[in-house]
Amino acid sequence: MDLNAIGVFFIAIILWPSVTSEMLTSVDPPTNLQVTDPGHLGQLHIRWKAPLSLTNKKLCVVRYMLRYCNVDSTNCKRVITRQLKYTDGFNLNKGINVKIQTLVKEQCINGTELHSNWIETIYWPSMEGHADSKGRDLQCIVYNLEYMDCIWQKGTSAPHDVNYALYYWHKELEYAVECNSYIKNQGSSVGCHFQGGDFIEFSDFNICINGSSEMGPVRPAYYTLQLQDLVKAAAPDKINMTLSRTDTIYLQWDPPTGKIKPHCLEYEVQFRGKDSHWESKIIPEGATSTFLNVTAKPMYCVRLRATVNIFCADDSFWSDWSSVQCLAGHSEGGEDVIIKINFLAELVVLIALASITLVLCMSALYWIRWKRLIAKKKPNMLLNDDTKNIKKSSSISC
């Protein structure tokens, strides 16, 4: 046996006790599990401490399995982290069950990963007031990314004198803020109007509707929204139609004006002939023109609406329909005759302008004729005066 092999053998014997002392056959759960509410209307902080038995186990790779959901739910989230804290959004309308366990692997164990027992806590938000006293059926619509209106209904068992208030929070706010522009109905707050700078996309937007009454406490209602999924675009405008000789309509329009990016929109076109039912066609995202194959009709009418597509939001509302525009079929001479309902107002304006122009021209013509008459009368008047003077001078000389 060579000297190197002998040296390695003796070192292994010396280190064997210290290595085996690091090996674990079980692991303790974390300690001091706590759930705290910073006042963000649904965002909670979860904190815990490492097991004391792992304090001196520096070679151990320690992780934690976190499991949480509402108390009556089986759809729980699972998170694995090496940190001693975690933050997430929760539904504060119900109690929240939080569990955590320790996971250990690498040099501290002999083979498979070790799991500790679970420790558990339940966090209960404020449950004062009858459950049916809280504001219900909140609906929020973001209009063309320019402003948002949120409307709610009065609780079915809310006191008659209940006065609701809305508070909201998102990640760019330090603390929850009360609505500063309530929507009223018969003196009671039934909604909130948000300006464009008050909301945020692609992040939790937390809302709490609480209330007060002299009859007793009112249960708060909590909502977490994703505002990019609540957008209602404006209706398309500047629609142009052209009819070919093969009964094909070429339709082109401009995207709605506003903050929604054109590539985020898709459209639905409805078209029909005179006295027939609407037919629909969905236009692929980003396109602002299409061809419509129509049967021979004396008139074709179309309308459009828009929505945010699946590449920019998980959901959205359809816009209102655009104004109906109609296109007449081929005339007997073979030429296309276009009738656009939106141009009727322009036609009225043009007729009015033509009438005014005609009146002004007639007035100018009469003025010129009057001036000419005056100009013709002046030489005759001067001639009459000179004749009188000659007669007078003649009589004196006689």
SS3 for 49-86 is ECCHHHCCCCCEEEEEEEEEEECCCCCCEEEEECCCEE
User: 311, 286 in Cβ contact below 8 A?
Assistant: no
CA distances from 303 to 240, 311, 396 (A): 11, 24, 96
User: How many CA atoms lie less than 13 Å away from 135 in the CB half-sphere?
Assistant: 27
pLDDT of residue 96: 97
Determine the pLDDT at residue 142: 97
- By three-state DSSP, how is residue 20 classified? helix
Q: What is the mean pLDDT of each run of 10 residues along the chain (398 residues)?
A: 51 42 78 96 96 81 94 93 96 96 81 89 93 95 96 94 96 95 94 92 95 92 96 92 79 91 94 83 87 74 94 95 82 42 48 70 65 56 44 35
The SS3 assignment for 128 reads coil
Q: What global pTM score does this model have?
A: 0.73
Highest CATH level, class, for 3-123:
mainly beta
Placement of tokens 């809280």 in the chain: 134
Closest CA to 95 of 20, 35, 147, 27: 35
Rg (CA), the chain: 41
pLDDT at residue 329 in the model = 61
- Topology alike, domains 131-231 and 233-344: yes
The reported pLDDT for the residue numbered 16 is 40
Domain boundaries 131-231, corresponding CATH code: 2.60.40.10
The tokens for 382 are: 């001067």
Sequence ranges of the domains in the chain? 3-123, 131-231, 233-344
| 317, amino acid identity | F
CATH architecture of 233-344: Sandwich (2.60)
pLDDT of residue 365: 66
